[in-house]
């Protein structure tokens, strides 16, 4: 089904598929084809014992993504401390940037003038942008990276983290917020988010949604799901208008986002709402309790057409990745591998450890025995430890390269196990080894 002329990545940035002068982007340049589906099982979490895990090929204007796949996060059109060429060499197929941060700087008009996100950052492959919904929550509630939490006895319609000022305010039309850079006042809505993301020019973008925390009350979650659905309808309409208006640009796929926190009925209801709209794919988002992360994916996939790719937003715990893949996740993004690496936390097949521990000061072996990433084939634990302690940027680079490679390779191996018919055995062996010593991650 893959067109042979599309298998060569040469000049993909210059010549994306489905773009012709004076014409709207060709939607047929985007699509998903399933290769191998996990067999259903007695303990399958989907309807009738379904297991929605699969391998596939996600076709985009700037190239194909073989799924399941990990999507490294280049928040501001850059993977922190690592060049795009290095990410490609380590096996990355695609990258995700943040629409909110790029709106703040350098501004969506700059990216539009540059020819879009991929060309701007010299990345020769597919790109994603998220809608800014997470930043709205972090500005409004002050939780930054923390969504999963112990919420026993802590329910409120007006959640705010201790010691934080509320910088974002949600209403029916959108969100008003203060810039964390300079305190200036800004406005995001479904239409504004679509306009920004169209100018940024990623292959895949997300509808503007309201992200809640697990601390919000059931009543607020219900209201938020309905508001996100109304915003989704507006996003689809604006997306279609901009696609027809912005001639000569490649088609940008739009994913709807399913919210509903940890409530099964709300998740199923929201999934049916998003499935009813003319989206190209679905984002599985929001705060999710770890114990039901696989169930949540299955509830959503029960309602989704098989042809729509599914992206799980912000997941990078090894056990969570396996649970989400088994229950339908196709692509995954998270800042954790890079952020953890900059703090010295190293992911390996035998668990996660901190390279800045005293015992590694004179350990001249690689970060992980048997790893073929650039860092492990050229540098030692002792050297990376030294760089990180000295706050040398090269330390951030080397630790990030290894951690990103770990997750890229993990998803590559999972994909191979599904195609090879040994996913269950690979899952069990990998998790037993990774968590043998109680490692986090």
Query: What is the residue-wise DSSP string for 198-217?
Result: HHHT-SEEE-------TTB-
Residue 373 is assigned to a ligand binding site? yes
Q: How many whole angstroms separate alpha carbon 193 and alpha carbon 182?
A: 20
Nearest to 32 by CA among 60, 55, 57: 57
Q: How many whole angstroms separate alpha carbon 412 and alpha carbon 99?
A: 27
Active site residue 40: no
CA-based angle 405:407:409, to the nearest 5? 65
Residue 334 is assigned to a ligand binding site? no
Q: How many whole angstroms separate alpha carbon 298 and alpha carbon 327?
A: 5
Residue 132 is assigned to a ligand binding site? yes
Residue 424 is assigned to a ligand binding site? no
Residue 311 is assigned to a ligand binding site? no
Residue 209 is assigned to a ligand binding site? yes
Q: Does residue 315 contact residue 330 with C-beta atoms inside 8 Å?
A: no
Residue 130 is assigned to a ligand binding site? yes
Residue 286 is assigned to a ligand binding site? yes
> 130, 280, 295, 330: which one is catalytic?
130
> 203, 320, 330, 333: which one is catalytic?
333
Residue 109 is assigned to a ligand binding site? no
Residue 131 is assigned to a ligand binding site? yes
Q: How many whole angstroms separate alpha carbon 162 and alpha carbon 100?
A: 24
3-class state of residue 427 by DSSP = helix
Active site residue 130: yes
Q: How many whole angstroms separate alpha carbon 431 and alpha carbon 441?
A: 11
Q: Does residue 327 contact residue 45 with C-beta atoms inside 8 Å?
A: yes
Q: How many whole angstroms separate alpha carbon 307 and alpha carbon 16?
A: 22
Under DSSP, the state recorded for 166 is -
Under DSSP, the state recorded for 40 is P
Burial class (CB in 10 A: 0-12, 13-18, 19+), 310: buried
Instruction: Name the percent of the chain in helix, strand, coil, to the closest 5.
Output: 40, 15, 40
Residue 56 is assigned to a ligand binding site? no
Distances (CA, A) of 436 to 341, 352, 369, 433, 440: 21, 11, 17, 5, 11
Residue 259 is assigned to a ligand binding site? yes
- Residue ranges of the annotated binding site for substrate are 130-134, 209, 259, 286
- Residue ranges of the annotated binding site for Zn(2+) are 371, 373, 376, 402
Enzyme catalytic residues: 130, 333
- Residue ranges of the annotated binding site are 130-134, 209, 259, 286, 371, 373, 376, 402
């Amino acid at each position: 089904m893959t067109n042979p002329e599309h298998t060569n990545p040469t000049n993909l940035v210059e010549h994306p598929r489905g773009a012709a002068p004076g014409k709207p982007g060709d939607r047929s340049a985007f699509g998903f084809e399933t290769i191998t589906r996990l067999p259903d099982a007695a303990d399958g979490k989907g309807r009738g014992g379904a297991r929605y895990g699969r391998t596939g090929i996600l076709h985009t204007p700037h190239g194909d993504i073989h799924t399941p796949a990990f999507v490294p996060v280049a928040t501001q059109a850059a993977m922190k401390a690592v060049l795009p060429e290095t990410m490609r060499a380590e096996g990355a197929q695609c990258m995700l940037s943040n629409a909110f941060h790029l709106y703040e700087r350098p501004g969506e008009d700059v990216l539009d003038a540059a020819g879009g996100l991929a060309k701007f950052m010299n990345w020769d492959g597919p790109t994603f942008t998220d809608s800014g919904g997470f930043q709205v929550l972090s500005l409004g509630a002050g939780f930054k990276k923390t969504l999963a939490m112990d919420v026993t006895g802590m329910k409120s319609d007006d959640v705010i983290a201790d010691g934080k000022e509320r910088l974002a305010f949600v209403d029916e039309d959108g969100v008003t917020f203060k810039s964390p850079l300079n305190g200036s006042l800004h406005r995001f809505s479904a239409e504004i988010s679509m306009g920004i993301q169209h100018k940024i020019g990623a292959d895949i973008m997300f509808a503007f949604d309201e992200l809640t925390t697990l601390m919000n009350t059931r009543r607020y979650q219900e209201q938020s799901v309905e508001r996100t659905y109304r915003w989704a309808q507006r996003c689809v309409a604006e997306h279609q208008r901009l696609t027809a208006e912005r001639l000569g640009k490649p088609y940008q796929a739009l994913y709807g986002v399913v919210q509903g926190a940890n409530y099964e009925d709300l998740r199923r209801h929201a999934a049916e709402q998003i499935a009813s709209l003319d989206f190209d794919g679905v984002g599985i988002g929001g705060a999710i309790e770890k114990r039901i992360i696989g169930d949540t994916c299955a509830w959503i996939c029960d309602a989704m057409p098989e042809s729509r790719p599914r992206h799980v937003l912000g997941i990078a715990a090894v056990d969570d990745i396996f649970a989400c893949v088994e229950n339908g996740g196709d692509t995954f993004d998270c800042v954790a591998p890079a952020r953890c690496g900059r703090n010295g936390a190293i992911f390996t097949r035998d668990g996660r450890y901190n390279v800045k521990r005293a015992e590694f000061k004179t350990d001249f072996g690689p970060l992980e025995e048997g790893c073929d990433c650039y860092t492990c084939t050229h540098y030692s634990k002792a050297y990376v430890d030294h760089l990180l302690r000295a706050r040398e940027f090269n330390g951030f680079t080397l630790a990030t390269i290894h951690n990103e490679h770990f997750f890229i390779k993990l998803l590559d191996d999972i994909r191979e196990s599904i195609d090879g018919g040994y996913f269950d055995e690979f899952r069990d062996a990998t998790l037993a080894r990774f968590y043998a010593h109680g490692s986090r991650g």
